[in-house]
Chain A
Amino acid sequence: MSSIITVSGLHKHFSVPKRRAGLWGTLKALARPEMTVVRAVDGISFTIQPGELVGYLGPNGAGKSTTLKMLTGLLVPSEGEVWVNGQVPWRERERYVASIGAVFGQRTTLWWDLPVVESLELLQHIYDIPAARFRDNLAQFRALLDMDSFLDTPVRSLSLGQRMRADLCAALLHDPVLLFLDEPTIGLDVVAKERIRQFIQHVNSEHGTTVLLTTHDLSDVEKLCNRVMIIDQGRLLFGGGLPHLMERFGGNRELVVDFAEEYPAVDVEGAAVVARDGLRVTYQFARQEITASALIGRLSARYRIQDLAVREPEIEATIRRIYEEKLLESP
Chain B
Amino acid sequence: MAKHLRLYLRLIGVQLRGQLQYRTAFLMDALATAVLTMVGFGSLAMIFQRFENLGGWSLGEVAFLFGMVEFSFGTMDMLFSGFDPQHFGQQVRRGSLDQLLLRPLPITLQVLGSKFVLRRVGRIVQGALILLLGILASDVGWSVGKLLYLPIVLMSLVSFFGGLFVLGATLTFWTVESVEVTNIFTYGGSEMMSYPMHIYDEWIRRFFTFVIPAIFLNYYPALYFLDKPDPFDLPPSTSFLAPLVGFGTLVLALKVWDVGLRHYQSTGS
Q: Which of A98, A112, A113, A114 lies at the interface centre, i.e. has the most chain B CB atoms within 10 A of its CB?
A: A113
> Which residues of B252-269 are within 8 A (CB) of A?
262, 265-269
CA of A95 to CA of B105 in the docked complex: distance in angstroms? 9
Q: Does A35 contact B (CB under 8 A)?
A: no
Q: Contact between B14 and A102 (Cβ–Cβ < 8 Å)?
A: no
One of B96-104, B131-139, B197-205 contacting the partner: B96-104
Q: Select one of B10, B99, B105 contacting A107, CB under 8 A.
A: B99
CA of A103 to CA of B243 in the docked complex: distance in angstroms? 43
Q: How many residues of A contact B (CB 8 A)?
A: 29
Q: Contact between A122 and B10 (Cβ–Cβ < 8 Å)?
A: yes
Contacts of A73 in B (CB 8 A): 101
Q: Does B125 contact A (CB under 8 A)?
A: no
Q: A76-B265, A90-B265 are in contact. Are A126 and B18 (CB under 8 A)?
A: no
Q: Select one of A66, A98, A107 contacting B96, CB under 8 A.
A: A107
Q: Does A317 contact B (CB under 8 A)?
A: no
A93 nearest CB across to chain B (Å): 7
> Which residues of A117-169 are within 8 A (CB) of B?
118, 122, 125-128
Contacts of A14 in B (CB 8 A): 267-269
Q: A75-B268, A76-B266 are in contact. Are A113 and B99 (CB under 8 A)?
A: no
Q: Contact between B102 and A97 (Cβ–Cβ < 8 Å)?
A: yes
Q: Does A285 contact B (CB under 8 A)?
A: no
CA of A244 to CA of B99 in the docked complex: distance in angstroms? 36
Q: Contact between B95 and A97 (Cβ–Cβ < 8 Å)?
A: no
B147 nearest CB across to chain A (Å): 39
Interface residues on B, range: 20 to 34
Q: A69-B268, A113-B21, A114-B18 are in contact. Are A74 and B7 (CB under 8 A)?
A: no
Q: Select one of B10, B96, B262, B268 contacting A74, CB under 8 A.
A: B268
Q: A14-B267, A74-B268 are in contact. Are A126 and B104 (CB under 8 A)?
A: yes
CA of A111 to CA of B95 in the docked complex: distance in angstroms? 15
Q: Does A210 contact B (CB under 8 A)?
A: no
CA of A118 to CA of B18 in the docked complex: distance in angstroms? 12
Q: How many A-B contacts if CB must be within 8 Å?
A: 66
Q: Does A94 contact B (CB under 8 A)?
A: yes
Q: Contact between A102 and B102 (Cβ–Cβ < 8 Å)?
A: yes
Contacts of A102 in B (CB 8 A): 102
> Which residues of A58-103 are within 8 A (CB) of B?
66, 69, 72-76, 90, 93-95, 97-98, 102
CA of A114 to CA of B105 in the docked complex: distance in angstroms? 20
Q: Does A104 contact B (CB under 8 A)?
A: yes
Q: Which A residue sits closest to B101, measured CB to CB?
A: A74
Contacts of B103 in A (CB 8 A): 97, 109, 126
Q: Does B151 contact A (CB under 8 A)?
A: no
A167 nearest CB across to chain B (Å): 10
B152 nearest CB across to chain A (Å): 33
Q: Select one of B10, B17, B95, B101 contacting A93, CB under 8 A.
A: B101
Q: Select one of B10, B14, B101 contacting A97, CB under 8 A.
A: B101
A141 nearest CB across to chain B (Å): 18
B94 nearest CB across to chain A (Å): 8
> Which residues of B76-129 are within 8 A (CB) of A?
94-96, 98-99, 101-106
Q: Contact between A98 and B17 (Cβ–Cβ < 8 Å)?
A: no
B114 nearest CB across to chain A (Å): 9
Q: Contact between A94 and B102 (Cβ–Cβ < 8 Å)?
A: no
Q: A113-B18, A114-B18 are in contact. Are A125 and B268 (CB under 8 A)?
A: no
CA of A49 to CA of B104 in the docked complex: distance in angstroms? 25
Q: Which B residue sits closest to A77, measured CB to CB?
A: B266
Q: Select one of A94, A107, A113, A118 contacting B98, CB under 8 A.
A: A107
Contacts of B265 in A (CB 8 A): 74-76, 90
Q: A95-B104, A125-B7, A126-B103 are in contact. Are A74 and B14 (CB under 8 A)?
A: no
Q: Contact between A111 and B268 (Cβ–Cβ < 8 Å)?
A: no
A27 nearest CB across to chain B (Å): 16
- Chain B residues engaging chain A, CB cutoff 8 angstroms: 3, 6-7, 10-11, 14, 17-18, 21, 94-96, 98-99, 101-106, 262, 265-269
Can you list 11 contacts pairing A with B, beta carbon distance less than 8 Å?
A: A14-B269, A69-B98, A73-B101, A74-B101, A74-B268, A90-B265, A97-B101, A113-B14, A113-B17, A122-B14, A125-B10
User: Other CB < 8 Å A-B pairs besides A111-B18, A113-B14, A126-B7, 19 of them?
Assistant: A14-B267, A66-B268, A73-B101, A74-B102, A75-B265, A76-B265, A90-B265, A93-B101, A104-B98, A104-B99, A107-B98, A109-B99, A109-B103, A114-B17, A122-B10, A122-B14, A126-B104, A127-B104, A128-B3
